[in-house]
């Protein structure tokens, strides 16, 4: 091994030599944004490594050994080449995003002018780059659509379905519905399933937001044209878009047109219920609850209580028919606190529980396993001089027997006998 002093002297000698000159034109030729801040005659003068500058001058003839690079390698994760490549690509993409954004921030009269401006550059286009820039310019359709058009002309590049959907949304947001439909048509012509429910979701919502209610409905009617099915989720998306944009009437029109050919669910009715309450059309809201019951469905809690609140604000007193589906909902979901709130609300409005409501409560609570509460309502029914229906009594007793609640079962049997005796008097 060479003496340490000789190696250090040799390295110091190398450091003192002029370094090869770098021709900056070679690095700026393909990038119009590069600037030459230094003279071509400028030479690099890197600092000496710490381990060389801090050598031991007390023992210069000791053998010299370069320090271990193990910790440096560990810190820089050289054993993971993918992380280095990913970092370099990400850094390059971020740089290109900023440079292209700088071009797009100029005022252009049309997307064609944007394309011409970008044609003079030599950027490497990727899906990630296009996604980032479209996100930045989502509120400015001219540069967004210009970039979208220019990117398609670049060799080896192709838009993803997600990028197409983003462009559809940007054009719809700016109410350029003609261009929006042209992009959808282009997606369809690719014949690779680019047009999906996600695409038409954006189309219908943007049309509804632009007060193009009939166009939104027509878009739904034409689903088959793009190989899509008119099904419950799609219909609910359309109805939700219409109701949220202050046209629950059009949402109801969709409901009437398709209710016999598309299965309905609770969300379908809840959209209408929310829309009617928002429009303060409480009679229509009540009719929606009635129709829900016919389909064996109940409203969600938020819409149910919103309806009661709106009715109180409008001095429109709810009746037993309004409360019945809400009581059923509470039983089904085992929401006992909400059930008590509803019952207190009923008493506050001087609404008495009839035999049908007691029956609903006992049946609902039995099915939900709330037998203690079911027995309380059964007992209250008898104490008020009502005779429980045989089906109600049978269900309650069978459930008590199944749970081995003999004492409770015996009490219900006595109550039923008492009710029968009162009826015969």
pLDDT given for residue 204 in this prediction: 98
* Half-sphere exposure at residue 167, Cβ-oriented, CA atoms within 13 angstroms: 30
Quick: pLDDT tens for 376-423: 999 999 998 899 999 999 999 999 999 999 999 999 999 999 888 877
Q: Tell me the average pLDDT of the chain.
A: 80
* pLDDT score of 175 more than 90: yes
Residue 36 covered by a domain: yes
Neighbours of 119 (CB within 10 A): 9
* pLDDT score of 236 more than 70: yes
Domain boundary among 12, 42, 67: 67
pLDDT cut 90: percent of the chain above it = 49
Residue 232 CB contacts under 8 Å (≥ 6 apart), including other chains = 262, 263, 264, 265, 268
pLDDT given for residue 425 in this prediction: 59
Question: C-alpha angle 162/85/87, rounded to 5°?
Answer: 75
Residue 35 covered by a domain: yes
In the DSSP assignment, the letter for residue 422 is H
Residue 307 covered by a domain: no
Dist CA 3 CA 61 (whole Å):
5
pLDDT given for residue 61 in this prediction: 47
* pLDDT score of 49 more than 80: no
Tell me which of 293 and 155 has the higher pLDDT: 155
pLDDT given for residue 297 in this prediction: 80
pLDDT tier, 88 (very low <50, low <70, confident <90, very high otherwise): very low
pLDDT tier, 4 (very low <50, low <70, confident <90, very high otherwise): low
Residue 256 covered by a domain: no
Domain boundary among 36, 51, 67: 67
Burial of 263 (0-12, 13-18, 19+ CB in 10 A): exposed
pLDDT tier, 127 (very low <50, low <70, confident <90, very high otherwise): very high
pLDDT given for residue 22 in this prediction: 39
Cα-trace Rg, the chain: 38
In the DSSP assignment, the letter for residue 44 is -
Residue 369 covered by a domain: yes
Tell me which of 95 and 181 has the higher pLDDT: 181
* pLDDT score of 293 more than 90: no
pLDDT given for residue 18 in this prediction: 47
pLDDT tier, 314 (very low <50, low <70, confident <90, very high otherwise): low
Domain around 1: 1-67
Quick: pLDDT tens for 132-159: 999 999 999 999 999 999 999 998 999 9
Quick: pLDDT tens for 58-86: 554 444 444 544 444 445 444 555 544 44
Alpha helix ranges (H) inside 174-231: 177-189, 197-209, 213-221
* pLDDT score of 52 more than 60: no
* pLDDT score of 233 more than 90: yes
pLDDT tier, 5 (very low <50, low <70, confident <90, very high otherwise): low
Residue 40 covered by a domain: yes
Domain boundary among 11, 33, 67: 67
Buried b / exposed e over 6-28, threshold 16 CB at 10 Å, is ebbeeeeeeeeeeeeeeebeeee
Query: Distance of CA 40 to CAs 34, 36, 46, 148, Å?
Result: 14, 9, 17, 39
Residue 107 covered by a domain: no
pTM: 0.60
Across the range 194-207, mean pLDDT stands at 97
Residue 237 covered by a domain: no
pLDDT given for residue 40 in this prediction: 42
Provide the domain count of the chain.
Answer: 2
183, 171 contact by CB (below 8 A): yes
């Amino acid at each position: 091994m060479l003496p340490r002093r000789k190696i250090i002297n040799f390295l110091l000698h190398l450091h003192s030599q002029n370094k090869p000159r770098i021709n900056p034109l070679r690095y700026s030729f393909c990038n119009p944004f590069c600037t030459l801040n230094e003279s071509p005659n400028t030479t690099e003068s890197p600092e000496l490594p710490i381990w060389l500058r801090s050598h031991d001058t007390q023992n210069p003839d000791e053998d010299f050994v370069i320090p271990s690079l193990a910790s440096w390698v560990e810190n820089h994760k050289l054993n993971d080449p993918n992380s280095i490549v990913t970092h370099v690509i990400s850094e390059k993409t971020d740089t290109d995003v900023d440079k292209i954004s700088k071009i797009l921030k100029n005022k252009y009269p049309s997307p064609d002018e944007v394309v011409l401006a970008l044609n003079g550059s030599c950027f490497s286009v990727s899906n990630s780059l296009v996604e980032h820039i479209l996100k930045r310019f989502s509120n400015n359709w001219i540069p967004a659509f210009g970039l979208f058009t220019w990117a398609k002309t670049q060799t080896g590049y192709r838009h993803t379905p997600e990028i197409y959907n983003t462009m559809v949304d940007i054009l719809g947001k700016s109410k350029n519905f003609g261009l929006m439909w042209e992009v959808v048509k282009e997606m369809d012509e690719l014949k690779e399933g680019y047009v999906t429910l996600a695409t038409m979701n954006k189309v219908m919502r943007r049309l509804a937001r632009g007060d193009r209610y009939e166009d939104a409905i027509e878009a739904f009617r034409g689903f088959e044209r793009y190989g899509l099915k008119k099904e419950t989720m799609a219909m609910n998306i359309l109805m939700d878009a219409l109701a949220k944009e202050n046209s629950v009437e059009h949402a109801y029109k969709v409901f009437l047109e398709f209710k016999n050919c598309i299965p309905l669910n609770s969300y379908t009715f809840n959209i209408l219920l929310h829309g009617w309450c928002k429009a303060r059309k409480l009679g229509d809201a009540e009719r929606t609850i009635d129709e829900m019951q016919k389909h064996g469905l109940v409203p969600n809690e938020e819409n149910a209580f919103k309806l009661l609140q709106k009715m109180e604000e409008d001095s429109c007193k709810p009746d037993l028919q309004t409360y019945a589906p809400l009581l059923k909902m509470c039983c089904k979901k085992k929401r006992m606190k909400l059930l008590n709130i509803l019952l207190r609300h009923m008493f506050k409005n001087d609404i008495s529980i009839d035999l049908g409501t007691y029956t609903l409560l006992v049946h609902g609570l039995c099915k939900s396993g709330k037998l203690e509460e079911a027995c309380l309502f059964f007992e209250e029914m008898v104490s008020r001089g009502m005779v429980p229906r045989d089906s109600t009594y049978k269900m309650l007793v069978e459930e008590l027997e199944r749970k081995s609640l003999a004492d409770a079962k015996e009490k219900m049997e006595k109550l039923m006998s008492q009710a029968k005796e009162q009826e015969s008097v």
